[in-house]
């Protein structure tokens, strides 16, 4: 699947914009500030429903306007679109309103930009977001499960802040919450097990640390040959442990006003092989050089694209926003070897950044606003 044509209205710097794309390589060379990253952001929003640049997708509405719209024609003639208002997003397929989960079934993207190093160098939120976005792309049911978990968590947090809340009411909410907590954790664990299988030849390993930490004892050790789903008896034991932990922490959490355990506090550590380290590996966040962090992120994103393709039968689009200036020879070679696998979009501020590419005339995209 690839994008044939895109149309923007009141999106960022674009009042109106329309462009047709090559099915393989598309290159946008323009000075910084010209809008090339805005175009890539629009393509990213088409594939994820959210902005990889802004804290809120509503920030993409052109100044002084009430609604932004991003539309595309896909290679199977499906028309998809998103309308963005200050309060809500609306999703369309062939001019019909659809749910977010239904919309996500039509297009997926993998986006890489310089600040994506936060995936390995930033806080735990960045790695949880990576898992959530990827899982929503692989399996739309995850989106519903996570939304239910977040809703249940918010309800329990409201109870914790209400000094009048009765113990029986907590028991009822925690019964439901424990189910969704374990659902999210097991789906995240399944994804980590799959990505580790793909990363094994590259000397990269992700260690999943669910919350509460006691659940780690029940999760099978992640190896290359384990199944990617937990046995039912293991999930049942995990739910009981979660309920017990929620009861034990309730008094302390009532003083604090929020829940201390759950997927919202999960962590993922990323290790790379290191023969000189005592354990034979090192945490790339703590001990990795910037170059090691870059190649770890690139490899992780490319292997994620493989998993998405295997799960959905369609290769996700690859979006590379001004990244070649940040890469050394090995990293460039790794990326260049992957460009032909899918429709790819590359931005650069000048020709020197993409001089290693053979760019056909129809692969060059012009920016205007």
pLDDT at 221: 58
Question: Is 218 in the same domain as 142?
Answer: yes
- Which is more confidently placed, 280 or 199? 199
pLDDT at 134 over 70: yes
Rounded to two decimals, the pTM is 0.85
Average of pLDDT values for 232-246? 89
pLDDT at 80 over 70: yes
pLDDT band at 174 (very low <50, low <70, confident <90, very high): very high
Question: Is 131 in the same domain as 75?
Answer: no
pLDDT at 84 over 90: yes
pLDDT at 186 over 70: yes
pLDDT band at 225 (very low <50, low <70, confident <90, very high): very low
Average of pLDDT values for 56-66? 86
- Which is more confidently placed, 26 or 50? 26
Closest among 251, 245, 261 to 165, alpha carbons compared: 251
For residue 230, tell me if it sits in a domain.
yes
- Which is more confidently placed, 165 or 93? 93
- Which is more confidently placed, 49 or 195? 195
Question: Is 151 in the same domain as 276?
Answer: yes
Instruction: Note every long-range contact of 311-316, with CB atoms under 8 Å and residues 24 or more positions apart, other chains counting.
Output: 311/138, 311/139, 312/108, 312/137, 312/138, 314/1, 314/108, 315/1, 315/341, 315/342, 316/47, 316/108, 316/109, 316/110, 316/137, 316/342
pLDDT band at 128 (very low <50, low <70, confident <90, very high): very high
**CATH number of the domain where residue 82 is located:** 3.40.50.300
pLDDT band at 332 (very low <50, low <70, confident <90, very high): confident
Average of pLDDT values for 251-259? 92
140 neighbors 241 (Cβ within 8 angstroms): no
For residue 339, tell me if it sits in a domain.
yes
pLDDT band at 316 (very low <50, low <70, confident <90, very high): very high
For residue 304, tell me if it sits in a domain.
no
For residue 79, tell me if it sits in a domain.
yes
Question: Is 254 in the same domain as 355?
Answer: no
Question: Is 158 in the same domain as 278?
Answer: yes
Q: How high does pLDDT run on average in the chain?
A: 87
- The tokens describing 359, both together, are 């760019």
Question: Is 143 in the same domain as 269?
Answer: yes
pLDDT at 369: 52
Question: Is 46 in the same domain as 101?
Answer: yes
pLDDT at 216: 85
pLDDT at 101: 85
**β-pair type (267-273, 96-98):** unpaired
Question: Is 126 in the same domain as 91?
Answer: no
For residue 186, tell me if it sits in a domain.
yes
Q: What is the pLDDT of residues 241-251, one digit of tens each?
A: 999 999 999 99
pLDDT at 333 over 90: no
- Which is more confidently placed, 8 or 24? 8
Average of pLDDT values for 66-77? 95
For residue 95, tell me if it sits in a domain.
yes
- Which is more confidently placed, 199 or 336? 199
- Which is more confidently placed, 36 or 3? 3
pLDDT at 204 over 90: yes
Question: Is 242 in the same domain as 340?
Answer: no
Helix ranges (H only) for the chain are 36-48, 100-103, 118-121, 124-138, 140-161, 167-199, 232-256, 284-287, 290-312, 329-336
For the chain, how many structural domains are there in total? 2
Average of pLDDT values for 265-273? 94
| Best mean pLDDT range from 22-26, 333-337, 350-354 | 22-26
Range of the domain at 24: 3-108+317-363
For residue 307, tell me if it sits in a domain.
no
């Amino acid at each position: 699947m690839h994008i044939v044509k895109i149309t923007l209205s009141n999106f960022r710097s674009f009042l109106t914009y329309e462009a047709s794309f090559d099915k393989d390589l598309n290159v946008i060379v323009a000075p910084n500030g010209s809008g090339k990253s805005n175009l890539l952001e629009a393509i990213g929003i088409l594939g994820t429903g959210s902005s990889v640049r802004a804290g809120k997708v509503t920030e993409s509405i052109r100044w002084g306007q009430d609604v932004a719209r991003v539309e595309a024609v896909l290679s199977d003639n499906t028309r998809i679109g998103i309308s963005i208002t200050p309060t809500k997003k609306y999703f369309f397929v062939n001019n019909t309103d659809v749910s977010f989960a239904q919309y996500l079934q039509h297009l997926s993207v993998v986006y890489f930009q310089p600040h994506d190093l936060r995936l390995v160098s930033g806080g735990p939120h960045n790695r949880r977001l990576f898992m959530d976005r990827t899982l929503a792309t692989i399996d739309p049911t995850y989106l519903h499960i996570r939304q239910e978990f977040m809703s249940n968590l918010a309800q329990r947090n409201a109870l914790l802040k209400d000094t009048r809340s009765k113990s029986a009411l907590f028991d009822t909410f925690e019964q439901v919450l424990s189910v969704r907590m374990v659902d999210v954790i097991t789906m995240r664990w399944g994804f980590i097990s799959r990505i580790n299988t793909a990363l094994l030849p590259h000397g990269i390993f992700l260690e999943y640390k669910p919350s509460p930490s006691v659940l780690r004892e029940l999760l099978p050790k992640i190896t290359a040959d384990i199944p990617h789903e937990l046995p039912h008896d293991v999930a049942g034991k995990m739910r009981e442990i979660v309920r017990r932990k929620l009861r034990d922490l309730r008094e302390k959490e009532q003083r604090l006003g929020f829940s201390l355990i759950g997927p919202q506090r999960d962590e993922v550590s990323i290790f790379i092989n290191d023969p000189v380290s005592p354990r034979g590996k090192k945490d790339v966040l703590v001990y990795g050089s910037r170059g090691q962090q870059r190649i770890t992120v690139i490899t992780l994103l490319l292997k994620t694209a493989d998993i998405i393709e295997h799960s959905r039968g369609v290769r996700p689009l690859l979006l590379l926003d001004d990244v070649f200036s940040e890469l050394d020879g090995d990293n460039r070679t790794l990326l260049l070897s992957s460009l032909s696998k899918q429709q790819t979009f590359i931005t650069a501020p000048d020709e020197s950044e993409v001089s290693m590419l053979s760019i056909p005339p129809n692969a060059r995209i012009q920016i205007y606003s």
